[in-house]
Amino acid sequence: MSKFLIKRLLLTLPTLFGVALVTFLLIRVIPGDVVELRYSGDRGAVSQEVLDQERHRIGLDQPVWRQFLTWIGGVVRLDFGTSMWTGAPITEEIKLRFALSLQVAIMATIVAVLLAIPLGVLAALKQDTWVDYAVRLFSIAGLAMPSFWLGIVFILFLLVVVKWLPPMVYTPLWVNPKENLAQLIWPALAVGYRYSAVATRMTRSAMLEVLREDYIRTARAKGLMQKLILSRHALKNAMLPVMTVVAIEFAFLIGGLVVTEQVFNLNGIGLLFVQAVAHRDYTLLQALVMLVASMFILANFVMDIAYAWLDPRIRYR
Amino acid sequence: MAISPPFDQVVIEPARRPALAVVWEFARRRPLGAIGAVIIVVMLAVATLASVIAPYDPLAIDFGGMLASPSSAHWLGTDSFGRDVLSRLIYGSRTALLVGFGASLVGAIVGAVLGVASAYFGGRIDLYLQRVMDIFLSFPLIILALALVAILGNSIPNLILAITVPMIPRCALVIRSSALSIREMPYVDAARAAGFRHRRIILRHMLPNVMAPFLIMVTAFVGQAILLESSLSFLGLGVQEPIPAWGLMLSGAAVEFAERAPWMAIFPGLAISLSVFAFNLFGDSLRDALDPRLRTQ
């Protein structure tokens, strides 16, 4: 097992390196750089000399390959450097925002799982009845509604019907849990609905497949109660693909909330990403993309391990 | 001695049924898919006939009639510039369908060619292609599209390209797995034994046989592309004013005036949801009809 773990872990390294390289090159193709943007307000009042000096100070005058080596050298030591725009250490810039995005992602996952598993199982058990159709329509609708629009509708509903607005300023969970939840539950619901749709569909199809297996027929034939067949035989086996979908969606939620954060005025990773693009803040962008991509690679890694561990048919070599 | 035609010209004609009968059969067996198809057809009609149906010029600004609520003159009200919301929705369907179909077709075609080539050649080529795909799959859709829009600038063709790129590896992955089983088919071996070139085997023997997953990917991607376009436009990074686009209609003023003029925030979102809903419904039924093995995904 430990050999398999190490091999699988080593396999993630080339992908991570590739992500780093692609990110690094891609953002340098974006026209303009941070120095130009910072002084653009002065309308040419700044001499070329000052611009060159500033570029030299943050290392933008170096050849690209050397910049890359310096940066990668830092990343290996988990040192992401300082933001080119604010000058603050990257870890400081990201820390609070990451906590916020992580919390929304976790809450959305809870919403999604609580909706998806009962609905998916129900739809599979009542396949091709009106229950099944209703669940499928509900989940297809969830995939169709943009979560930022759902967010707008939530806010509108609270404003017009309940005459109450969720707090618009972020309070950390450990400072005031009530304020914090009152604000974050709405984005979590808006995103969680879409997310549950993906998971519901997966639960339904995985259950349908498992229910056709021989061991379920055997369990039925020996007179096992329906409840036990479901909980002990069917659900357990159907959960693996569902877990994969949940894990991957979770990883993408960390950075993929760009638009929802905008609607709810949340200062999370997604919004930071948009700002970093606008400022051409290369170091911050690189760190953010690496963070988001490694979350995804990590989720895949964890799921591979979980498969090997939970499913005895998969031999790990 | 009769000369038999070369392998690849022997065509076994499947028993042809009239197209109408096929459509009718699909509608009867998959009512949800048929509903989706009807909505798509209506959308296509609305988009092509936009100039005929739209009651007003979508760009006509009327500061006298700002934020007017829905009435017989303006069925869905007006926005903060006094522009007719219904007319903007009708013209916006052009943008959505153009970007949706453009991005999904290009993305799926490039993805299919890469996927089939990857499966056909196998070995090193397959390994390297897969690694590159893995790298691109590690970025969330929106992040990659955002970066590309920042690089390319936000004209509509660039927007299509930015949405296409993240779709390519997703399509290549699916097509590759179906192509892997096709590669083992006797007719591919036969074609190889007959000395055909790689290009010919890939284009004439393998590609036609991954049509089912290909069509499924295209329909699935149209909805995704429409969603992505509206997200980018909402952020102000996609379609630019004054071009009517649904995502753009939701940004800025729509949120600001949400309480006074909720129609500005509600109808464009409904239009996005309805169109993506239609493509998903149709795509799902198409998938079930064409390829029951793919049901799990």
- Among A15, A148, A202, beta carbon nearest to B134: A15
pLDDT score for B292: 55
Residue B272 clears pLDDT 60, i.e. is over it: yes
- Among A27, A146, A296, beta carbon nearest to B272: A146
Across the interface, do B230 and A146 touch by the CB < 8 Å criterion? yes
CA distance B39 to chain A (A): 14
Across the interface, do B269 and A153 touch by the CB < 8 Å criterion? yes
Of A78-87, A154-163, B109-118, B267-276, the poorest mean pLDDT is in A78-87
Question: Which residues of A are less than 8 Å from B133 in CB distance?
Answer: none
pLDDT score for A108: 93
Where does the pLDDT of residue A113 fall: very low under 50, low under 70, confident under 90, or very high at 90 and above?
Answer: very high
pLDDT score for B296: 40
Of A148-162, B71-85, B157-171, the poorest mean pLDDT is in B71-85
Does B143 reach chain A within 8 Å, measured CB to CB? Answer: yes
pLDDT score for A229: 81
Of A102-111, A120-129, B79-88, B288-297, the poorest mean pLDDT is in B288-297
pLDDT score for B297: 37
Give the model confidence (pLDDT) of B242-254 as tens digits: 888 898 888 877 7
Residue A8 clears pLDDT 50, i.e. is over it: yes
Q: What is the mean pLDDT of residues B80-103?
A: 89
Does B274 reach chain A within 8 Å, measured CB to CB? Answer: yes
pLDDT score for B295: 44
Where does the pLDDT of residue B188 fall: very low under 50, low under 70, confident under 90, or very high at 90 and above?
Answer: confident
Mean pLDDT of chain B: 84
Q: What is the mean pLDDT of residues A199-215?
A: 87
- Among B32, B131, B234, beta carbon nearest to A148: B234
Where does the pLDDT of residue B182 fall: very low under 50, low under 70, confident under 90, or very high at 90 and above?
Answer: confident
Mutate which of B139, B272, B295 to disrupt the A interface (most A C-beta within 10 Å)? B139
Closest-approach residue (CA) in chain B for A194? B273
Q: What is the mean pLDDT of residues B119-139?
A: 88
Q: What is the largest CA-CA distance in chain B?
A: 87
Question: Which residues of A are less than 8 Å from B140 in CB distance?
Answer: 252, 255-256, 292, 296
Of A46-55, B85-94, B223-232, the poorest mean pLDDT is in A46-55
Phi, psi (deg, nearest 5) at residue B78:
-125, 165
Mean pLDDT of chain A: 84
Give the model confidence (pLDDT) of A56-71 as tens digits: 777 777 788 888 888 8
Q: How far apart are CA A301 and CA A305, in angstroms?
A: 6
Question: Would you tell me which residues 243-262 of chain B have a C-beta closer than 8 angstroms to some C-beta of chain A?
Answer: 247, 250, 254-255, 258-259, 262
Across the interface, do B269 and A152 touch by the CB < 8 Å criterion? yes
Across the interface, do A292 and B234 touch by the CB < 8 Å criterion? no
Most confident of A136-140, A222-226, A307-311: A136-140
Q: What is the mean pLDDT of residues A198-219?
A: 87
Question: Which residues of B are less than 8 Å from A297 in CB distance?
Answer: 138
Beta bridge partners of B78: B84
3 state SS for chain A: CHHHHHHHHHHHHHHHHHHHHHHHHHHHHCCCCHHHHHHHHHCCCCCHHHHHHHHHHCCCCCCHHHHHHHHHHHHHCCCCCECCCCCCEHHHHHHHHHHHHHHHHHHHHHHHHHHHHHHHHHHHHCCCCHHHHHHHHHHHHHHHCCHHHHHHHHHHHHHHHHCCCCCCCCCCCCCCHHHHHHHHHHHHHHHHHHHHHHHHHHHHHHHHHHHCCHHHHHHHHCCCCHHHHHHHHHHHHHHHHHHHHHHHHHHHHHHHCHHHHHHCCCCCHHHHHHHHHHHCCHHHHHHHHHHHHHHHHHHHHHHHHHHHHHCCCCCCC
pLDDT score for A189: 92
pLDDT score for B4: 55
- Among A15, A202, A209, beta carbon nearest to B138: A15
Across the interface, do A22 and B135 touch by the CB < 8 Å criterion? yes
CA distance B130 to chain A (A): 10
Give the model confidence (pLDDT) of B189-212 as tens digits: 898 888 888 888 888 888 888 888
pLDDT score for A44: 59
Q: What is the mean pLDDT of residues A273-285?
A: 86
Closest-approach residue (CA) in chain B for A296? B138
Residue A112 clears pLDDT 90, i.e. is over it: yes
Residue A135 clears pLDDT 70, i.e. is over it: yes
Query: How high is the ipTM of this complex?
Result: 0.84
Nearest to B108 by CA among B44, B161, B59, B172: B172
Give the model confidence (pLDDT) of B35-88 as tens digits: 999 999 999 999 998 888 888 888 777 777 777 778 777 777 888 777 888 889
**pTM for the full model?**
0.85
CA distance B270 to chain A (A): 8
Mutate which of B30, B89, B136, B143 to disrupt the A interface (most A C-beta within 10 Å)? B143
Does B39 reach chain A within 8 Å, measured CB to CB? Answer: no
Q: What is the mean pLDDT of residues B159-168?
A: 92
Residue B11 clears pLDDT 80, i.e. is over it: no
A-to-B residue pairs, Cβ atoms closer than 8 angstroms? 131
Mutate which of A258, A260, A274, A300 to disrupt the B interface (most B C-beta within 10 Å)? A258
Where does the pLDDT of residue A279 fall: very low under 50, low under 70, confident under 90, or very high at 90 and above?
Answer: confident
Question: Which residues of B are less than 8 Å from A136 in CB distance?
Answer: 32, 284
State the number of CA atoms in the 13 A half-sphere of A30 facing the CB. Answer: 25
